[in-house]
Structure 1
């Protein structure tokens, strides 16, 4: 498990698939991931995504990319104020 800025927590699988905790929980409920419970939790349990799980992730990623639209251009910066005298 990894934490990125803004408090987002990610799960990293053996095959380097990265997903949020919410996505992992959703896939787990549907039986699309395998969590090796023979390894103690403090050692980091290996997670394997099934072939059907990879298809679900790919479909979700394609859907979010097409609905996201182009990124907004950054707004121009205001000119710096002149130093006070």
Structure 2
């Protein structure tokens, strides 16, 4: 089916729809347009991932622990972590 034939078919179908169904078609088309705009967000630059970093390089991301459940959290990690597979 060519583009022109498809447009004519859709126009004929739209002409036969009652107003409540025409409203649904309009909502559907709005959703398609919104999805199209969201699926092509502008790209942003990210800093490159540095390979060969050392643990000391991660200290700038470290904070201080807030709370009194540090031991509980560490125990939870020990109980639920899986062995690394290489």
Asked whether the two chains share a fold, i.e. TM above 0.5, the reply is no
Question: What TM-score comes out, normalization by structure 2 length?
Answer: 0.29
* TM-score, normalised by the number of residues in structure 1: 0.29
**Rg: which structure is higher?**
2
Higher strand share: 1
Q: Which has the higher helix share?
A: 2
Higher relative contact order (CA 8 A, sep 6+): 1
